[in-house]
Amino acid sequence: MNPMTETSTQRAIEPELAAHIAEHIAEDPDAGPTPAELAALPTDRFADRELSWLAFNQRVLELAEDVTQPLLERVRFLAIFASNLDEFYMVRVAGLKRRIATGIAVTAASGLSPRQVLDVISERGQELMTRHARVFADDVQPALAAEGITLVHWDELETREQERLHKFFRKQIFPVLTPLAVDPAHPFPYISGLSLNLAVVVANPATGKEHFARVKVPPLLPRFIAVDARGRPSAPTAQAAAPGKGPTSFVPVEEVIAHHLDHLFPGMEVREHHTFRVTRNEDVEVEEDDAENLLQAMEKELLRRRFGPPVRLELGEGISPRIRDLLVRELGVAEDEVSILPAPLDLTGLNVIADLDRSDLHFPPFVPTTHRYLAEVESASPTDVFAAIRERDVLLHHPYDSFSTSVQTFLEQAAADPKVLAIKQTLYRTSGDSPIVDALIDAAEAGKQVLALVEIKARFDEQANISWARKLEQAGVHVVYGIVGLKTHCKLSLVVRQESDGLRRYCHVGTGNYHPKTARLYTDHGLLTCDPDVGQDLTRLFNQLSGYAPQSRFHRLLVAPRTVRSGLVERIEREADAAREGREAWVKIKVNSVVDEVIIDALYRASQAGVRVDLVVRGICAVRPGVEELSENIRVRSILGRFLEHSRIFAFANSGGPAIGDGPESGPEVYIGSADLMHRNLDRRVETLVRIVDPDQVTELIDLIDLSMDDGTASWHLQADGSWERHSTGPDGEPLTDLQATHVQRQRRRRGMGR
């Protein structure tokens, strides 16, 4: 039997897990806890999740507006904002509209009805899109021009530049264009999601009769065509680069196509052309328990995704009313789903400009270094990860600590080491040329037992993960897809090695994906350890994920969906008890999002008891801090910058209260792991948090949160009304401390000291 089928479709969800999920999930997957769980607290205590997300993307936009940021980094923040908003509409807005249409949408925990949420999203989304376009046109674009980087229209090009673009069009663009006419013999064509299109009106000169046609801008073409100082357009597959500080001009590809429409419609008169773009519902839904084969079901669902209903229509300014009405009618969008924006549309393509080779317009160069414990170990090999881990637990902080010389080397050495008998690994997202996947394949081909738990439902990486699943299986890796009904989001590696004193298990538990590229862009933590308790925990968890182990118990792990929420709530309540008894009490948490109402209510009650609660939240936050008699002791900060803050840390004072599980009787208790405080993480995903036991590492993580919360650190402060205030300068106008720049400087100092 195909092992994919055997492991992914013939195991019913474990009864204990099913009961837990049923307890916390109603028909609406975003429904929160029961009314009894929410008793005795104000009904308006939660901020709305969707509107909080829009506020997060506004913070990204504020970085693009910040003139103290390097210019090309501001361009990149504009591209990130656009990409974020695309995904928000494809998933969150589309899901909300789907639930409204099917009648299963319920009032949000914020108290807003689904229609109210949608109305506010429509209004604020339009405001942000317009602001985004204006920031680029009125602020960033002139600043680029001052540096010799210009975005020009066709008519602004010199004659020799136009001639070169004529040749470029004929050789590189024209052959891949497909004009689609609309007439009685040709119905209105399907418009794929996020594609950039030209709506064209042509007329027959002989009869004067007009016809509508659509021309899709092929996504493999460069979004902006660079013309260097000699007037040469860039190759379509190459990223544009400016040598030194020489001038570079960019022309939107749609303008080049528009100028050559007569080549696509010879003998016709081109009367109008306008740009437009459609966003569709691209969320993936697979009912795993009804699917005979999860892999095949996912492949079918990805095909269906291409034909999801539209949820947003972007139109270029100046579009004629009749073409606007035609597109609205044929695409079936509502008036509040239409956005008219200044050209150019689709600013996700600004990454081409952001990637220019202009070091003077980027953040200063940064090269991660090997963690000092890995670099200092005395061994025959340059970095013997196993020897280093035997000496002590190693707490990694990426990207400051190199991923390639730590986690990647750990797995590569495991694959090559003849003493290694088995490797077990979770893969949620990884790169297209993944050295992690290569290491697993090498290990399998060397005869080791290799298990890869591939999460093929990782949103927008599904197709890539399907490909890797097949490649791994063909190499002899045991590929499984975890527990039916749950996404496997935890970040785990387990290596079993034969040593002189018996088998030893080496482990990695992380907060981020096994993805070398994002490990250079995201701040994440990871723990390398050969502690027997963690080794036993990971062995039990992998057995649970690949086989049957419903009664597994863990020493240093909290595992969702069973014990992450309950374990965190228990520790928060212990802090509340300590505060009531007059002992030291605090909670410090750093995550990407805080939405779960049970956790939030526990934090509110802790605040009411006198517990100081500090939250560092990059994205969505449904907490209302600073509300009298509710959350006066809660502070929330958000930090965005050069790197994407992605690590999750949970810290508790634990000042002499009763020990919980295998935790310490007293002294700070700190965890890192993969879980955010959201319903999906706590109820519908397999997540892990690992307890940190080394006192120095405990202090390091607490200090990180304290520095993030410090009033001298640049950040956004969440207000009781749900708004965010940016704090970037002090009372005298001096810039506040940049958290990430501080870590970069520390890393450079360590390098100078021989790290």
Chain CA centroid to CA 170, Å: 39
* Helix intervals (H) in 88-153: 94-102, 114-134, 141-146
Which residues pair with residue 614 across a beta bridge?
588, 635
Closest CA to 606 of 626, 584, 633: 633
Rg (CA), the chain: 27
Phi/psi for 270 (5° steps) reads: -85, 115
The sheet that has 338-341: what strands, in order across it? 179-182, 210-217, 196-203, 269-280, 310-316, 338-341
**Contact criterion met (CB below 8 Å) for 132 and 59:** no
- The whole-angstrom separation of Cα 103 and Cα 115 is 12
- The whole-angstrom separation of Cα 675 and Cα 648 is 7
CA angle 736, 739, 740 (to 5 degrees): 130
**Contact criterion met (CB below 8 Å) for 516 and 505:** no
Q: Which of 20, 489, 646, 743 is catalytic?
A: 489
H helix or E strand, kind and range, residue 473: helix 462-474
Q: In the structure encoding, which two tokens stand for residue 193, read together?
A: 């999601």
Instruction: Specify burial of residue 660 (Cβ count, 10 A radius: 0-12, 13-18, 19+).
Output: middle
525 is catalytic: no
C-beta atoms surrounding 372 within 10 Å: 16
Q: In the structure encoding, which two tokens stand for residue 532, read together?
A: 């027997």
Q: In the structure encoding, which two tokens stand for residue 419, read together?
A: 């003493």
Cis amide linkage into residue 399, ω under 30° from 0 = yes
The Cβ-side half-sphere exposure at 262, using a 13 Å CA radius, reads 6
Active site residues per annotation: 489
